[in-house]
Amino acid sequence: MKWQNDIVRDFDQKGYVNEMYILTALVAFAGSFVQSSSGFGYAIICMAIWPMFMPFYTASILEAIAAFFMVIYIAVRLWKFIDWKLLLPPVIMATVTSFLGVNTLMALDEDVLSKIMGTVLLILAVYFIFFSSKVHLKASLVSGLVAGAISGFCGGLFNIGGPPMVAYFLSVTDDKEKYNATLQMFFTINTISIFLIHVFQGHVSGSMLPLVGAALAGTAVGTAGGMFLFRRLTMAGIKKTVYIFMICAGSYLLLS
């Protein structure tokens, strides 16, 4: 698509094309390190920074592709801890609502998308900081479907479907392996569905391959480092990491 080809051409004309790939890899490294150690954060970091030097739509599709390899790796590593009964209701609902999110993404202006994303992240930051310790969800069909619906739509819209599921799984699990394994398998299935929607609707082109390669390189290194840290964190430590990260993300959006 034209807006995918323009980004590389514009950087090439300015002599910054190599810098673009380096920046893409560094952002992917930071996002994968945070997600591998805390359970989420890849999409928030990538979608907060990548659109600064590439079209929002390109960043969204790139994140979906690169994130898949990270979450499937983590899910396979923690396969025996996946709670399939807990996973199925939200992942089924998210698969449905992600289709609505993708179509909304392609219909809205980039400035509007950025404002929506900023507003959603600020609301989520306030929730994690002030209300998450007071809200205790129970694992049920209704709560799972609601969490999945919100996550799927946000994931399809700007690939930030993690926080709603993090809030849900943190509340209904008390084991860090079960929490992270079930969460990453949710991301795996949901990311596949979002990517396939983009493919079938013709949003993915071969011109993105160099960016994908740069993102995957950064993601691989960051994932290895994050998993090393995850093995040394307690459940309480993971929650603190999540909340601190949300404070930083919210502060960044507020200041910018």
| pLDDT, mean of each 10-residue run, the chain (256 residues) | 48 60 91 79 80 80 84 85 90 89 76 69 70 69 88 78 79 83 87 81 76 90 83 65 64 60
Q: What pLDDT score was predicted for residue 37?
A: 77
Dihedral sign (CA 179, 185, 189, 195): positive
Give the residue carrying structure tokens 């209701």.
Answer: 89
> What is the distance between the alpha carbons of residues 165 and 148, in angstroms, rounded to a whole number?
7
Q: What pLDDT score was predicted for residue 1?
A: 46
Question: Is residue 154 within 8 Å of residue 120, measured between CB atoms?
Answer: yes
* Cα end-to-end distance, the chain, whole Å: 30
Question: Is residue 253 within 8 Å of residue 44, measured between CB atoms?
Answer: no
Q: What is the largest CA-CA distance in the chain?
A: 55
3-state per-residue secondary structure call for 173-239: CCCHHHHHHHHHHHHHHHHHHHHHHHHHCCCCCHHHHHHHHHHHHHHHHHHHHHHHHHCCCCHHHHH
pTM over 0.85: no
Residue 241 CB neighbour total at 10 angstroms:
18
Question: Is residue 24 within 8 Å of residue 50, measured between CB atoms?
Answer: yes
Q: What pLDDT score was predicted for residue 2?
A: 43
